[in-house]
Copies of this chain bind each other. A is one copy, B any other.
Amino acid sequence: MGRPTMEDVARRAGVSRALVSLVMRNSPQVSPGRREAVLQAAAELGYAPHAMARSLASHTSTVLGVLVSDLHNAFFAEVVDGLDAAARAAGFELVFNTGCRDAAREQKAVASLLSFRPAGVALLGPVVPAATIATAAATCPVVLVARTVRSTAVDLVNDDGRTGSALAVDHLAALGHTAIAHFDGGAGSQAAPRRRGYQEAMSRHGLEALVVPSEYTDTAGARSTRELLAARPAPTAIVAANDYNAVGVIAALEEAGLRVPEDVSVVGYDNTGLAAMHHVGLTTVHQPAVDMGRLAAEALIARVRGGGSPVHRLLQPSLVVRSTTAPPRACGFTASTAR
């Protein structure tokens, strides 16, 4: 069990610990002969530097901590792809943790990440309060993805949720829909701008808004749909909280005997692999997830490497029309048009 230490390698190579240290960090000021000897001794012993001891002594770290809001949501997997590629290219390693969309658990997950004294931290769609984020930011550089917060201490990488929702509403309105409901992301991050975009677009079209409380999961989407159908006639179109949520909405709709898109049109958000699947063919709002991950990593690394000006990125989403939206039939509840 006891792994070999630098001391062991030094002894075997007949040099000092410091020299081994230099070789391990491939310093150029080591004679080729000694370097070879050290490398060979290390190989024979199966030695690998102790990352923790190293960072303890050097006060530096090549670790970037990543909090993933929900491992079940494919959107974050894509953000991680971008994050991973950029971090790897810059010589940083990623360490993940997840909080399962629960504020208390996320808080512990962030603390756990921070206890390793990472060079920086990326929070993907976190639901923790702003105060927790501020605390983290006092410790090391922090970048938020898919979450906003009033602060210049953290970097932000988001899509413009307000525009994204408006895109969805405009598309539905152009198809002739007037009874368009929005399923709300609740406490989830980015729910507010999406809701606002929906409301603004609805009023712009002179339509009455209907916001249904929900969450960023398929089960919540299904539950909210059932509650909605129990309370009132179905709208002719639904702008879901996200793709994952939309899938639950569609399932509950069909379960209730309503067909998509013949009876009800549904629009998702995120354009995950889920939406693209032929069997699902979800009309959705595309977020450039991989790019967002890359930008987040770059912002973090810039901060780590010396200052780096505050980054507040707001990427433009776009609409991807597939097969869950169509013109409304002459049914559904009659929308009372505002004004």
Which residues of B have CB within 8 Å of A7? none
Which residues of B have CB within 8 Å of A98? 80, 84, 94, 96
Which residues of B have CB within 8 Å of A254? 278-279
**In the complex, A308 has a CB within 8 A of chain B:** no
A50 to B251, CA, bound (A): 47
Q: Are A116 and B71 in touch, CB under 8 angstroms?
A: no
**In the complex, A320 has a CB within 8 A of chain B:** no
Once A71-B71, A139-B3 are accepted as A-B contacts, the answer to whether A97 and B97 lie under 8 Å apart by CB is no
Max count, chain B CB within 10 A of own CB: residue among A52, A97, A280: A52
A72 to B77, CA, bound (A): 6
Interface string of A244-278 (1 = CB under 8 A from B): 00010011001100000000000000000110011
Within A45-82, the residues touching B (CB, 8 Å) are 46, 48-53, 55-56, 71-72, 74, 76-77, 80-81
A72 to B272, CA, bound (A): 10
Once A247-B277, A254-B278, A255-B278 are accepted as A-B contacts, the answer to whether A93 and B112 lie under 8 Å apart by CB is yes
Which residues of B have CB within 8 Å of A51? 112, 115-117
A114 to B50, CA, bound (A): 9
**In the complex, A231 has a CB within 8 A of chain B:** no
Measured CB to CB, the closest approach of chain B to A153, in angstroms, equals 12
**In the complex, A95 has a CB within 8 A of chain B:** yes
Find the B residue at minimum CB distance from A76.
B71
Q: How many residues of A contact B (CB 8 A)?
A: 48
**In the complex, A135 has a CB within 8 A of chain B:** yes
Find the B residue at minimum CB distance from A96.
B96
Which residues of B have CB within 8 Å of A218? 273, 277
Q: Are A49 and B115 in touch, CB under 8 angstroms?
A: yes
A254 to B279, CA, bound (A): 9
**In the complex, A230 has a CB within 8 A of chain B:** no
Which residues of B have CB within 8 Å of A55? 52
List the 5 shortest-distance A-B pairs measured between CB atoms, nearest first: A251-B278, A51-B115, A96-B96, A52-B52, A71-B77
A contact residues vs B (CB 8 Å cutoff): 1, 3, 46, 48-53, 55-56, 71-72, 74, 76-77, 80-81, 84, 93-98, 100, 111-112, 114-117, 135, 138-140, 218, 247, 250-251, 254-255, 273-274, 277-280
Q: Knowing that A84-B100, A247-B279 touch, tell me 9 more A-B residue pairs with CB under 8 angstroms.
A: A51-B115, A51-B117, A72-B77, A72-B273, A95-B96, A96-B96, A250-B278, A254-B279, A279-B280
